[in-house]
Chain A
Amino acid sequence: MKSHYSLVVIGAGPAGLSAAVVAAQHGLDVVLLDDQKAPGGQIYRAMESIPAERAKLLGAEYLRGRQLVSALRESNVDYFADCQVWSLNNKLEIGLTQNNKALMLTADRVLLANGALERPVPFPGWTLPGVMNAGAAQILFKSHGIIPEDGVVLAGSGPLLLLLAWQYQHAGVNIKSILDLTPMHNHLRALPHLPRALLAGHYLSKGMAYKKDLKMAGISTLHNVSNLQANGKNLLESVSFQHKGRTETLETELLLIHFGVIPHSQLSQAAGCNHQWDNSQQCWKPQVDKWGNSSIDGIPIAGDSAGIGGARTAEHAGRLAAIQVLFQLNKISQLERKKLAHNDRKWMREERHIRPFLEAFFHIPGKLLREPDDHTIVCRCEEVTAGDIRQAVADGHQDSNQVKFLTRCGMGPCQGRQCAEAVSHIVAAANKDNYPRAIYRGRPPVTPLTLGQLATLYPEEQE
């Protein structure tokens, strides 16, 4: 790895792959850093190693990633797998570990394309072994073909839940039930956006097809479910919930949950990019312009890490950001920029048809996000409950950071990655704010770094 590149791209999902390739094609020296073992991101995970049969089960959408990954292999992008980026600052200095060695890189431009993470939604029992994120289960399936053997209950709200159910059903998994926590009134909320959504009808027809297949296969889906609770002493034993006015219980050793995804913003926060609350996506996201430029010169952001748009949108947003970098670094003219960006712009315009509908339809109920009961653990690392957080607010601590200092929530090994959003919702509710005012200030390293690794940096620096 060189110590300086014109463009450093962080994340080898659809946004990072397409950006790195187009930038390299136009003569930039590009390095692509990714924390996984192989390119593809979460969506196209294990693309190069997956057996054909398993790939078929994942559907046509998944196979699209093959072109992106092979374009990377054919390009002269410097690609490094297994890289953990633990720091980025506004001087475009990047701290990373590769093969357990710490390194510092500099760049003329740093493109953040580090994707999304599953939205943390604490509910009673969510920390019990046997409760897992649907996305994590999908990773096991894609990478290793691991599927639940003794049946599974799926619960939550969001397209991934439906997709995973469909994939599992094709793979022969015993799905005991799908508990859809999308409230009925979301249909009304989404209705005004439907006519526009029909302009991007392929999303809707895909969803309908999944639902139809699941129904044909006789899998029970309960809609308008609420009060989800995972029960068990040391391990998950059952799931209870409210449905049609009755409390019901299902025995299961595995519950997979999903409440949508939110941008992975730890690096953009660390760099000091401005972030804003997005009420429609119910998350914090960095401020970006139509080319992906953030508030910091030289740090564009593309794909889900700039706001959730899905895999296809990420691919186009990645290209657009790279095209803008090429223009800024005088590799292409304004006219060439316009020509190169034409198709991507068209896609982005169409994409805007569907998002408002999806976001309204899968709007997570405020009660779930903002009002977990007092005993529910919110910070897993430090075992801080929703009640502890509310008490801190009642004692005069109005923002997440103060709550963090006082309760230690978000101070464990995950550094708030798991709980930051959840805490900001609970704090907002306790303050009677409609939406969160602040999120934890980032405190690097973004991922842990050993004293030994840190000690090897800047060997010439003296006390």
Chain B
Amino acid sequence: MKTDVLIIGGGLMGFSVALQLAMRGVASLVVDKDSAGRHASGVNAGGLRQLNRNPAEIPISVAAAKMWHDIKSLVNSDCDAHFPGQIRVAENDADMQTLQIRAKLVRDLGFQHEEIIGAEELYRLAPTLVAHCKGALICRNDGYARPFHALDAFRRKACSLGVQYLPYTRIDAIEHDKKGWRLSLAKGEFRAPVLVNCAGAWAGRIAAALDEQVPLKPSAPMLMISERLPRFIDPVFGAASRKLSFKQMQNGTLLIGGAHMAELDFEQQKTSINWAKLAVSARTVLALFPQLENVRIVRSWAGIEAFMPDNLPVISRSKYSDAFHAFGFSAHGFQLSPVVGKIISQLILDDHTEFDIKPFSIERF
């Protein structure tokens, strides 16, 4: 069977690329070894964060934020997105200084989305925060969405525009010749002039099949969620010198992340909670919000994600001019997903993109 573009990986990136291509009349096939969004795409924390991005990522993150604020026009669903802001709290003067340096750096790059707030506004936003904090860095139009709902919306919109989708399908072979790419699948052979690698934690294997070695490390950041609580905080909350990200979802549950990794059996695709690290996460939360001591944790999990050594993604043309990569988002790709679709579709159809993607080149390794 033939199509225009073969996309490996039925996560957010894969469907975002497929959707952008479909909107420009280009057919594609998305193939995934599991169900859509089975790993990182479906089970991440759903953060829509421009705050504290690596400077290289700021332009694409700001562009992505614009797309999220109007996400319904793109995927016919609001993806349950809310924009109460994200903050990074300073617990002492040294933290405050770090945040001020950061704010200046962002301003100097010509962006206005990050600003410093003082203690008074901080305690207005987070009245139950432990008393000693000095202030915070805030991005007021940041927020969060529900990842599986977003994934589902991207998939359904893409498929409604004719994108073919094959879940639970393993790839037996990837071959390249003058006519382009050939994927051997259980359901037959698929050909297309263009190939896109959006295979997440498994993208290193696809890159290797294209003879490109990347230092990708699969890892599984843990999240935990509480029972429903009366509303006590709106913005997504992080700290300048602690590993923490938490938010109170619309239904009142508290979603806690801290970039602590589960134990991972990559071959078996199985994760196992590391209670010692999760305990650290709990201590961090309680150090900032001691009144949460008796809140019950009902569930914890970890999604398998691709990490790069410099924590920057690969958004890049391959060494083959007709193959492209978008992976390695290192646990902060959710927010970037709409713009990544746009960038890859531009590279495929226009031969260039409006964004500076040099920092994300696969050749940097």
Residues of chain A whose beta carbon lies under 8 Å from any beta carbon of chain B: 87, 89-91, 93, 95, 104, 272, 395-399, 401-402, 405-406, 411-413, 415, 443-445, 448-452, 454-458, 461-463
- In the assembled complex, the Cα of A396 lies from the Cα of B273 at a distance in Å of 30
What distance in Å separates the Cβ of A189 from its nearest Cβ neighbour in chain B? 34
A-B contact pairs, 13 of them (CB 8 A): A272-B270, A396-B36, A396-B155, A399-B35, A405-B42, A412-B298, A448-B227, A449-B297, A451-B226, A452-B293, A454-B278, A455-B282, A463-B242
Given contacts A87-B273, A458-B276, contact A443 B284 (CB under 8 A): no
CB atoms of B280 and A451 under 8 A apart: no
- In the assembled complex, the Cα of A457 lies from the Cα of B276 at a distance in Å of 7
CB neighbours (8 Å) of B296 from chain A are 413, 448-450
Give the residue among A104, A396, A399 with the most B Cβ atoms within 10 A: A396
CB atoms of A455 and B283 under 8 A apart: yes
Q: Does B27 contact A (CB under 8 A)?
A: no
- In the assembled complex, the Cα of A395 lies from the Cα of B155 at a distance in Å of 10
What distance in Å separates the Cβ of B33 from its nearest Cβ neighbour in chain A? 14
Q: Does B277 contact A (CB under 8 A)?
A: yes
Q: State the 3 A-B residue pairs at the shortest beta-carbon distance, nearest first.
A: A452-B293, A448-B296, A458-B276
- In the assembled complex, the Cα of A407 lies from the Cα of B295 at a distance in Å of 24
CB atoms of B280 and A463 under 8 A apart: yes
CB neighbours (8 Å) of A272 from chain B are 270, 272
What distance in Å separates the Cβ of A258 from its nearest Cβ neighbour in chain B? 28
CB neighbours (8 Å) of B149 from chain A are 406
CB neighbours (8 Å) of A454 from chain B are 275, 278-279, 282, 297
Instruction: From B284, B294, B299, give the contact of A415 (CB < 8 A).
Output: B299
CB atoms of B227 and A413 under 8 A apart: yes
CB neighbours (8 Å) of A413 from chain B are 227, 296, 298
- In the assembled complex, the Cα of A461 lies from the Cα of B276 at a distance in Å of 6
- In the assembled complex, the Cα of A89 lies from the Cα of B275 at a distance in Å of 11
Q: Does B285 contact A (CB under 8 A)?
A: yes
CB atoms of A455 and B297 under 8 A apart: no
Given contacts A89-B272, A461-B277, contact A448 B298 (CB under 8 A): yes
CB atoms of A457 and B279 under 8 A apart: yes
> Knowing that A402-B148, A443-B299 are A-B contacts, what are 11 other residue pairs whose CB atoms are under 8 Å apart, sorted by A's residue number?
A87-B275, A405-B37, A406-B148, A406-B152, A413-B227, A445-B300, A448-B298, A451-B293, A452-B294, A455-B282, A455-B283
Instruction: From A395, A397, A405, A445, give the contact of B297 (CB < 8 A).
Output: A445
Q: Which of B283-311 contact A (CB under 8 A)?
A: 283-286, 292-301
CB neighbours (8 Å) of B275 from chain A are 87, 93, 95, 104, 454, 457-458
What distance in Å separates the Cβ of B19 from its nearest Cβ neighbour in chain A? 15
Instruction: From B35, B37, B295, give the contact of A451 (CB < 8 A).
Output: B295
Interface size class, chain B: 35 or more
Q: Which of B26-55 contact A (CB under 8 A)?
A: 35-37, 42-43
What distance in Å separates the Cβ of A212 from its nearest Cβ neighbour in chain B? 48
Nearest CB to that of A411 among chain B residues? B299
- In the assembled complex, the Cα of A87 lies from the Cα of B243 at a distance in Å of 24
Instruction: From B156, B167, B279, B297, give the contact of A448 (CB < 8 A).
Output: B297
Nearest CB to that of B289 among chain A residues? A451
Give the residue among B149, B159, B272, B298 with the most A Cβ atoms within 10 A: B298
Given contacts A451-B292, A454-B282, A463-B243, contact A444 B276 (CB under 8 A): no
CB neighbours (8 Å) of B35 from chain A are 397-399, 401-402
Nearest CB to that of B287 among chain A residues? A455
Residues of chain B whose beta carbon lies under 8 Å from any beta carbon of chain A: 35-37, 42-43, 148-149, 152, 155-156, 159, 167, 226-227, 242-243, 270, 272-273, 275-280, 282-286, 292-301
CB neighbours (8 Å) of B279 from chain A are 454-458, 461
What distance in Å separates the Cβ of A36 from its nearest Cβ neighbour in chain B? 20
- In the assembled complex, the Cα of A449 lies from the Cα of B226 at a distance in Å of 9
CB neighbours (8 Å) of A452 from chain B are 282, 286, 293-294
What distance in Å separates the Cβ of B148 from its nearest Cβ neighbour in chain A? 4
What distance in Å separates the Cβ of B236 from its nearest Cβ neighbour in chain A? 18
CB neighbours (8 Å) of A91 from chain B are 272
CB neighbours (8 Å) of A457 from chain B are 275-276, 279
- In the assembled complex, the Cα of A461 lies from the Cα of B282 at a distance in Å of 12
- In the assembled complex, the Cα of A455 lies from the Cα of B256 at a distance in Å of 13
Give the residue among A395, A398, A454 with the most B Cβ atoms within 10 A: A454
Given contacts A402-B35, A405-B148, A451-B282, contact A90 B297 (CB under 8 A): no
What distance in Å separates the Cβ of A105 from its nearest Cβ neighbour in chain B? 12
CB neighbours (8 Å) of B156 from chain A are 395-396
Nearest CB to that of B224 among chain A residues? A454
CB atoms of A455 and B286 under 8 A apart: yes
CB atoms of A444 and B300 under 8 A apart: yes
What distance in Å separates the Cβ of A345 from its nearest Cβ neighbour in chain B? 34
CB atoms of B295 and A450 under 8 A apart: yes
CB neighbours (8 Å) of A401 from chain B are 35
What distance in Å separates the Cβ of A98 from its nearest Cβ neighbour in chain B? 16
Give the residue among A405, A411, A457, A462 with the most B Cβ atoms within 10 A: A405
CB neighbours (8 Å) of A104 from chain B are 275
What distance in Å separates the Cβ of B296 from its nearest Cβ neighbour in chain A? 4
CB atoms of A451 and B42 under 8 A apart: no
- In the assembled complex, the Cα of A445 lies from the Cα of B299 at a distance in Å of 6
- In the assembled complex, the Cα of A401 lies from the Cα of B301 at a distance in Å of 13
What distance in Å separates the Cβ of A190 from its nearest Cβ neighbour in chain B? 37
Given contacts A405-B148, A443-B301, A461-B279, contact A451 B286 (CB under 8 A): yes
Instruction: From B43, B242, B278, B294, give the contact of A450 (CB < 8 A).
Output: B294
Nearest CB to that of A460 among chain B residues? B276
- In the assembled complex, the Cα of A384 lies from the Cα of B159 at a distance in Å of 26
Give the residue among B35, B159, B279 with the most A Cβ atoms within 10 A: B279
- In the assembled complex, the Cα of A74 lies from the Cα of B298 at a distance in Å of 38
What distance in Å separates the Cβ of A433 from its nearest Cβ neighbour in chain B? 14
CB atoms of B297 and A450 under 8 A apart: yes
CB neighbours (8 Å) of A396 from chain B are 36, 155-156, 159
- In the assembled complex, the Cα of A401 lies from the Cα of B39 at a distance in Å of 12
Give the residue among B159, B283, B292 with the most A Cβ atoms within 10 A: B283
- In the assembled complex, the Cα of A111 lies from the Cα of B280 at a distance in Å of 29
CB neighbours (8 Å) of A461 from chain B are 276-277, 279-280
CB atoms of B270 and A451 under 8 A apart: no
CB neighbours (8 Å) of A456 from chain B are 279
- In the assembled complex, the Cα of A1 lies from the Cα of B168 at a distance in Å of 46
- In the assembled complex, the Cα of A457 lies from the Cα of B152 at a distance in Å of 37
- In the assembled complex, the Cα of A405 lies from the Cα of B41 at a distance in Å of 12
CB atoms of B227 and A444 under 8 A apart: no
CB atoms of A451 and B285 under 8 A apart: yes
- In the assembled complex, the Cα of A456 lies from the Cα of B299 at a distance in Å of 18
- In the assembled complex, the Cα of A455 lies from the Cα of B42 at a distance in Å of 27
What distance in Å separates the Cβ of B145 from its nearest Cβ neighbour in chain A? 13
CB neighbours (8 Å) of B294 from chain A are 450-452
Nearest CB to that of A104 among chain B residues? B275
